[in-house]
A and B are shown apart, each in its own frame.
Chain A
Amino acid sequence: MGIERVFGDKVITTSVQAIATWARKNALWPMPFGTACCAIEMMATLSGRYDMARFGSEVIRFSPRQSDLMIVSGRISIKMMPVLLKIFEQMPEPKWVISMGACASSGGVFDTYTLVQGVDQFLPVHVYIPGCPPRPESLIDAVLKIQEILEGGPLARAPATSSAFAESPSPQGLSPDRPKAGCSQSIAPHAKDPLGG
């Protein structure tokens, strides 16, 4: 998974790093986790008029094993959240997450018993896109920002967890001092520190 595993810790890649970053950046294969209306706008982005394939995100394979960018588009209910976690866990590192739309970022219009109020409580999100649904140009902009994030981190570092998710008290996360919704831990720290270096 990634060229740094081939070389290990003993070798520092410099010019190979630049090439590898360039290759990774321009061939981000998205894993579209589309549930609701934002999925339609994501499909429109991948279609003829707003063509996301020109930025490298051509291959939509619906298989997490073959993708590195997860686009969470649409509202995530309590039945769907474990599925999202399982799919995200199956993606190989390095991976990035775009939270598309208001519902995935914060629960959106729906503050109800059954919708997760923002997937960033449970997943590390790199780019949030506001909108209900956001325009396809916003999604393209988000993919370009992921490319900028990608360029930022050096390649030789081993994959590290960001501080917000380092110590989880229990697997179910059911202890009283879990981070609450909307807390700042989930926003800034891994903007420059993507999973996988």
Chain B
Amino acid sequence: MPKTLSGDEILQKLMARFPDKVTPKKSPGSTPAHPVIDREHVRPILSFLKSEPELAFNFLADVTAVDYLQLELPEIRERFLVVYQLYSLEHNHRFQVMARVPEGDPRLPSVCDIWASANCGEREAHDMFGIEFEGNPDLRRLLMPEDYPGFPIRKDYPLRGRGERDAFPQYRPGLGTGDIFPEDATGSWSEKANKGSLP
């Protein structure tokens, strides 16, 4: 029987089920309150949100992260906050859950086995912020090159980068691919693949 609950009702159910583990972040203005949880409780709480029949959040719309280095809020005590946008296709209600990630030890359990769509969002949060998601089957960088030195959307990373955008060879006739792609200098990538040195 589909029944749409409001954000406050869902928050109350969550706080009734997990007392003392959920801190509501009261938002000023017209935005609703969202729960902030610690990373130990991420998997139990999110599994509960998916499996509870009245909530039934079977759709994970987005996983992202925010760097709260320059914004001091009392509910958010750590530097990083990973935000999950949940949606229930059956009951048609939305919910947002936020999990704290400390700066010195940026790891968080992955929720890829609960919702498969978490894979991409976690890869991007890892790429942009450096947060390690334990249990993600494919945690590589998504948008930046593999050996990029830095995590761009952190607040202490400069907007204009650190010179990576100028570090290319200029074209001259006779420029070989070994100069453009250094790994090509000793044989092309597809040659290496076809010789069997890749899995």
Contacts and interface: CB of A to CB of B under 8 A. Distances in A.
Interface of A: 78-79, 81-82, 85-86, 88-89, 93, 111-117, 121-124, 159, 161, 165-166, 168, 170-174, 178, 180-181, 195
Nearest to A97: B171
Contacts of A181: 166
A151 B107 CA distance: 62
B74 interface: no
Contacts of A166: 172
- Most chain B CB inside 10 Å of its own CB: which residue of A114, A124, A174: A114
A24 B145 CA distance: 39
A179 B144 CA distance: 25
A78 B158 CA distance: 16
Contacts, number: 87
A20 to B, nearest CB: 20
Nearest to A171: B179
Interface in B100-129: none
Contact of B168 (A114, A115, A173): A173
Contacts of A165: 170-172
Contacts of B179: 171-172
Interface of B: 144-145, 152, 157-162, 164-173, 175-182
B145 to A, nearest CB: 6
Smallest CB-CB A-B distances: 3 pairs: A113-B161, A171-B179, A173-B169
Nearest to B164: A78
Contacts of A89: 171, 175-177, 180
A112 B161 contact: yes
B158 A93 contact: no
Given A89-B171, A93-B173, A161-B173, A114 B165 contact: yes
Given A79-B145, A113-B160, A172 B152 contact: no
8 contacts: A85-B180, A121-B168, A161-B172, A165-B170, A165-B171, A165-B172, A168-B170, A172-B169
Nearest to A173: B169
A113 B165 CA distance: 6
A113 B152 contact: yes
A115 B160 CA distance: 9
Contacts of B169: 85, 122, 168, 170-173
A122 B160 contact: no
Given A78-B145, A171-B179, A113 B158 contact: yes
Contact of B166 (A93, A121, A171): A121
Given A79-B145, A85-B168, A112-B159, 6 more contacts: A78-B168, A86-B181, A113-B158, A114-B165, A171-B175, A173-B168
